[in-house]
Structure 1
């Protein structure tokens, strides 16, 4: 599954850009929201199918994967007949629009922002259920539903972020998304249940709006390396989430899950680094 995912995402991101008609942020958002929506219904499936019927019920979800194979086969045929599967000759236009040092600086800043975003997201996707159960004494099913609400909000934020970046500029979306979530993240560990649920929805909406803009911004930094850039940032997204889950789990065992949320609340402040992102010179760049 991991190898298949790593093969799929860079090429799928490239195809989304090819099919975008120039609205690259919108295309990336539509592509990414499919994954986000699938993740968001995971807690519901766990609560209402896997918990009552056991882990063997997971086998039925393989039918969804088989359907995806059929769709991807058709998409691969379209990709080949359009001539996009052939190696294109290198052109001068593929050179980065910015000096090498600025491109490197921008990539380092984007890596820091990815660390901030996906470590904080990991605290929700992996441990939000346990946080709700420990702090507010919720049952497993109720906590799973609340996790679904957070992840559904994240999916909606993904849809919104791309087209907004097309209109007002990617840098503004990146800045506003990651740094803008800081006040809500800092308040979250100190409020009651109802406000916790409300703040988690706001955090999911705002924080998830950045990823499509980050990917397209990086593609504009290195216009001749669309596949490589897409692979790098999708790989970082999944890798950061996995490492974050392991680190935060170890930390939770040592100091408690509530304390982990108090510490993670400071991660969005890394969004201040977005001030160092240069203008890319692309049509819709900030």
Structure 2
């Protein structure tokens, strides 16, 4: 190897280890736009329920169709792109979401609504695995921070949706959902810029052979840890489904709020959720991801228990606390899982995002049926015990990864 080649290889490795904040914030903003489009779906549930006389079971099935579509493809997308990276695939995902927005703006029956949300779910399934890989590549080793930056964009998008729906759609009509095509076109522009960086970065990585991570765990311990994480995700996202899909109905039923006022209270919770996501990744980098995951899920338990029994003011207070605590886990969970399987980042990211969406889908469907047969307040009483499952995080192994130049 010549001195010039050695110098180029060193410079490339140095570039690969540098945190690319411009890309991290760009992919975070693209995540904001993607999840803004996703979160339109639960935000318009009260409108759809009123316009088309839908039951809670049908509302749950709409969420199930969307989240199942979003979840079932993600591990396969990640597995394929681990072997064959596709820098421009996210653009195709945003095109699916664009089609879903246009379709749901004109949907006038239950089945048309289901097909529309499946388009948006497919777009999400394509977006997330490659986006998680990009944030990992741009992290420069600060994986928790990078994952928090990436995920907080999605959280802010989810938080903005009910607010924008309350301001734009609720006072007018369903067709005003078409305004959200602006978000899709903006997303297409940003993702195109990111795609070119991704393509060039892949060439640098191939030239220098990059940097890999390894851990000292046996295959049995890795599988055991993944099983615990998947159980924790079940607890977290089943409970989160009660908040994301039915919280506005809970407020309307318990406190006699209007749809618009309930959306504003939903916005408070979603902003708190975004704040927790910002904190979760860096805290995991500093104190260890195991402890952040454990605190995040199990720590929400006492506040979740109180939620069904307090007045509106304390409901907002508890939702802020619950949102901050429970959301801090997911950045740590994703990075922890990536460190368990460092050579399968796309597949494991797709698996965990997909499983999270799937648990949200199953939770929404089951809780919708339960709400129809009992009451929405009974649903919240039962769900308040779910964070208790987080105690099993005690058995997660502590990871110590080492870098290997190859």
Give TM class, smaller chain: over 0.9
Aligned to 2:171, the other structure's residue is in SS state helix
* Cα distance in structure 1, aligned partners of 2:365 and 2:161: 20
For residue 357 of structure 2, what is the aligned residue in structure 1? 238
Residue 275 in structure 1 maps to residue 398 in structure 2 = no
Residue 165 in structure 1 maps to residue 284 in structure 2 = yes
Residue 132 in structure 1 maps to residue 245 in structure 2 = no
Counterparts of 1:202-217 in structure 2, within 5 Å, are 202-217=321-336
TM-score (norm: length of structure 2): 0.67
* Cα distance in structure 1, aligned partners of 2:209 and 2:124: 28
* Cα distance in structure 2, aligned partners of 1:88 and 1:229: 25
- What is the Cα deviation at residue 120 of structure 1? 0.7
For residue 275 of structure 2, what is the aligned residue in structure 1? 156
* Pair 95,24 (structure 1): closer, same or farther in 2 beyond 3 Å: closer
Partner residue of 1:50 out of 165, 169, 173: 169
Aligned to 2:202, the other structure's residue is in SS state coil
**Unmatched tracts of structure 2, length 5 or more:** 1-119
- What is the Cα deviation at residue 174 of structure 1? 0.2
- What is the Cα deviation at residue 83 of structure 1? 2.4
Partner residue of 2:191 out of 69, 72, 86: 72
* Pair 57,269 (structure 1): closer, same or farther in 2 beyond 3 Å: same
Residue 197 in structure 1 maps to residue 339 in structure 2 = no
- What is the Cα deviation at residue 252 of structure 1? 0.6
Q: Is the 8 A contact 2:213 2:401 kept in 1?
A: no
Partner residue of 1:60 out of 179, 183, 196: 179
Residue 107 in structure 1 maps to residue 107 in structure 2 = no
For residue 252 of structure 1, what is the aligned residue in structure 2? 371
* Cα distance in structure 1, aligned partners of 2:298 and 2:121: 31
Aligned to 2:160, the other structure's residue is in SS state helix
- What is the Cα deviation at residue 85 of structure 1? 9.1
For residue 10 of structure 1, what is the aligned residue in structure 2? 129
Q: Is the 8 A contact 1:96 1:224 kept in 2?
A: no
- What is the Cα deviation at residue 95 of structure 1? 6.0
* Cα distance in structure 2, aligned partners of 1:96 and 1:89: 22
Q: Is the 8 A contact 1:215 1:230 kept in 2?
A: yes
* Cα distance in structure 1, aligned partners of 2:286 and 2:294: 15
Q: Is the 8 A contact 1:79 1:85 kept in 2?
A: no
* Pair 86,23 (structure 1): closer, same or farther in 2 beyond 3 Å: closer
* Cα distance in structure 1, aligned partners of 2:328 and 2:250: 24
Larger radius of gyration: 2
Q: Is the 8 A contact 1:97 1:221 kept in 2?
A: no
Q: Is the 8 A contact 2:215 2:340 kept in 1?
A: yes
* Cα distance in structure 1, aligned partners of 2:353 and 2:207: 23
- What is the Cα deviation at residue 277 of structure 1? 0.7
Between 1:93-102 and 1:169-178, the stretch displaced more is 93-102
**Unmatched tracts of structure 1, length 5 or more:** none
Between 1:180-189 and 1:42-51, the stretch displaced more is 42-51
Q: Is the 8 A contact 1:17 1:27 kept in 2?
A: yes
User: What is the alpha-carbon root mean square deviation over aligned residues?
Assistant: 2.0
> 1:105-158 deviations in whole A, cap 9, x for unaligned?
111100110011111111011111111111111111111100010011101110
| Matched residues, number | 283
* Cα distance in structure 2, aligned partners of 1:89 and 1:117: 40
TM-score (norm: length of structure 1): 0.94
